[in-house]
């Protein structure tokens, strides 16, 4: 957990006068001169002349910064930093000033601010006795709102101070953070802390070692969240009930009935007024550990499979945030079908045909495509409560990491829903790429056997992420608006630590929906752009088209790269050319 005890406050004082151990000032870079400009060539220009300063600097400090900028060629470009020490001459209030380049103002994205604030904070925390930091919030831009600037600064603090629960040494501590702004945004700060705490919870759950993590780990966390009176928790732990009512989920659980039997967990949030205007369901993939089953994963791909329950962790953390923020107009239920995918004498085997909660029969072609088997039944159960939309989050396919790299692959059967989620996530600095799920994807999961309806792999070699999404969406009716987030390429850092990705997207989306329905004291900040598409669902395979006025454009319809697995199993990318080191992608 990170920054749980850090005090956050606002100040409108002059940034360079504030007393703190560290001071972070973001700067923009002036646009490059046009080709026909008479400006001097870059070699003749002092780099500091390219910097757009958000504050007025004392002459001595300005001269010192310009000298250092010239020496280090600092011009405000994205990702570059410049450090100045406090002295009696420059009259800095802080012991150390870090100037962070964000690049040209019209090109700055929310994630750029978060990443660079994190970088600057991590650098300061590496110094001795740095306990207080002041952060000048960047000027609001077309894509970075003032509210998002607050939220992302807070999240950067949590990230910079985060250590796993099992860490041998505690993480760096920050006693206080001063956010320098001409306006106090206490409501936004409350939301920002709830989002950052939710992200830390996801990291804690995912980073928990595989030998210690069981289905009960998620159950106990659900019960902890359920101590808030706004949350009602239900845990179905009867294997007999699950076998009867969720047979596809039970098929995956058969390999671990003796060691870690399945649990079907649900958490329900409703406003105290009891007058919610919209019901939303969230389903998170909760495979505690994934061996691949009898079609076992290669050793390198099995590493980090303790994170195959990230979707479930995101669902739990979302409910924790809702309990803290108490939105007034939405009712949300989260569902987790929790089980390991292990090997036992009774574990599922290829060529099986199994039932589902929705009535479709599934042909099992690959035991490592297990996540969608748990999700299809969970989606059906979610749909039974008649929500107005369903959102699924899963570390589902290696094909997603091949197709979009370390981005969230966001899909759905309804462009309006998908695009609203994309707007929310991007405003919170999350990397998102939208993909289309087409009629062909639903055709490609049709079984060729006369005893089955669908198959848990694709009939073709490509579009593994989209066909997996089509399988999951098959658990609900064609009319149910659904969005699917495949986070298999974004859930872990290159050094195999949880990122907590997607929880900020989900929570911000829910807050945006609450605000659009009338809001409340915890209503969300307005996003930088808002989709104007309708909410009408499209039949499966026929994606609802957004009107021309929609601010987000769908990318060209592309399948996964040529390396997509012939049998697109969950989280196992091609062996020949993995997207990154074998231990990174599953």
- Return d(Cα 289, Cα 217) in angstroms, integer: 12
The torsion of the CA quartet 74, 10, 194, 187, rounded to 10 degrees, works out to -120
Catalytic residues: 297, 372
Within 13 Å of residue 531, how many CA atoms lie on the same side as its CB? 26
- Return d(Cα 99, Cα 20) in angstroms, integer: 15
Strand order across the beta sheet in which 389-394 lies: 231-236, 263-269, 330-341, 278-290, 389-394, 482-486, 408-412, 432-434
- Return d(Cα 54, Cα 35) in angstroms, integer: 27
- Return d(Cα 266, Cα 245) in angstroms, integer: 15
- Return d(Cα 545, Cα 196) in angstroms, integer: 34
Handedness of CA 83, 85, 88, 89 (dihedral sign): negative
- Return d(Cα 235, Cα 237) in angstroms, integer: 6
The b-or-e profile of 251-280 (16+ CB within 10 A means b, else e) is bbbbbbbeebbbbbbbbbbbbeeeebebbb
Reduced to 3 states (helix: H, G, I; strand: E, B; else coil), residue 201 is: helix
What pairing do the DSSP bridges indicate for beta strands 482-486 and 389-394? Answer: parallel
Within 13 Å of residue 545, how many CA atoms lie on the same side as its CB? 3
- Return d(Cα 489, Cα 493) in angstroms, integer: 9
């Amino acid at each position: 957990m990170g920054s749980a005890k850090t005090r956050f406050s606002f100040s409108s004082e002059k940034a360079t006068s504030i007393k703190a151990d560290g001071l972070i000032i973001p700067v923009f870079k002036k646009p490059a001169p046009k080709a026909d400009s008479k400006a001097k060539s870059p070699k003749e220009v002092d780099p500091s002349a390219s910097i757009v300063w958000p504050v007025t600097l004392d002459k001595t400090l300005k001269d010192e910064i310009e000298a250092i900028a010239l020496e280090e060629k600092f011009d405000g470009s994205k990702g570059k930093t410049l450090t100045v020490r406090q002295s009696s001459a420059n009259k800095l209030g802080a012991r150390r000033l870090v100037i962070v380049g964000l690049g040209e103002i019209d090109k700055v994205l929310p994630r750029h601010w978060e990443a660079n604030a994190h970088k600057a904070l991590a650098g300061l925390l590496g110094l001795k006795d740095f306990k207080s930091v002041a952060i000048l919030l960047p000027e609001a831009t077309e894509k970075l709102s003032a509210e998002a600037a607050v939220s992302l600064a807070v999240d950067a603090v949590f990230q910079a101070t985060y250590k796993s629960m099992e860490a041998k040494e505690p993480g760096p501590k920050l006693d206080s953070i001063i956010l320098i702004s001409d306006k106090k945004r206490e409501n936004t700060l409350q939301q920002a802390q709830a989002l950052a705490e939710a992200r830390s919870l996801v990291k804690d759950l995912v980073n928990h070692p595989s030998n210690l993590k069981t289905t009960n780990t998620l159950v106990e966390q659900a019960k902890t969240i359920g101590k808030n009176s706004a949350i009602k928790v239900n845990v179905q732990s009867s294997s007999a009930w699950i076998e009867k009512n969720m047979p596809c989920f039970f098929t995956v659980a058969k390999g671990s009935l003796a060691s870690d039997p399945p649990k079907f967990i649900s958490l329900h949030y409703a406003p105290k007024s009891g007058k919610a205007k919209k019901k939303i369901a969230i389903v998170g993939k909760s495979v505690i550990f994934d061996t691949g089953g009898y079609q076992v994963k290669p050793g390198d791909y099995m590493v980090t499979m303790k994170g195959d329950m990230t979707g479930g962790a995101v669902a739990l953390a979302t409910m924790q945030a809702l309990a803290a923020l108490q939105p007034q107009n939405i009712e949300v239920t989260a569902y987790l079908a929790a089980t390991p995918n292990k090997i036992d004498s009774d574990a599922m085997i290829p060529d099986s045909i199994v039932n589902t909660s929705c009535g479709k029969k599934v042909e099992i072609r690959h035991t490592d495509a297990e996540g969608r088997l748990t999700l299809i039944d969970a989606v059906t159960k979610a749909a039974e409560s008649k929500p107005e939309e369903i959102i699924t989050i899963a570390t589902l396919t290696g094909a997603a990491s091949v197709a979009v790299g370390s981005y969230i692959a966001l899909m759905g059967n309804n462009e309006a829903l998908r695009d609203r989620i994309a707007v929310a996530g991007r405003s919170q600095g999350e990397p998102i790429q939208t993909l289309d799920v087409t009629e062909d994807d639903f055709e490609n999961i049709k079984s060729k056997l006369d005893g089955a309806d669908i198959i848990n792999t694709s009939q073709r070699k490509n579009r593994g992420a989209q066909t997996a999404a089509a399988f999951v969406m098959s658990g609900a009716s064609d009319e149910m608006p659904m969005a699917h987030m495949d986070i298999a390429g974004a859930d872990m850092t290159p050094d195999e630590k949880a990122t907590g990705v997607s929880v900020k997207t989900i929570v911000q989306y829910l807050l945006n929906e609450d605000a659009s329905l009338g809001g409340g004291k915890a209503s969300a900040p307005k996003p930088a752009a808002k989709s104007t598409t309708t909410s009408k669902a499209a039949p499966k395979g026929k994606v609802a088209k957004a009107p021309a006025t929609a601010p987000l454009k769908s990318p060209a319809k592309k399948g996964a790269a040529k390396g997509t697995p012939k049998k697109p199993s969950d989280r196992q990318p091609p062996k020949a050319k993995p997207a990154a080191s074998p231990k990174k992608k599953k």
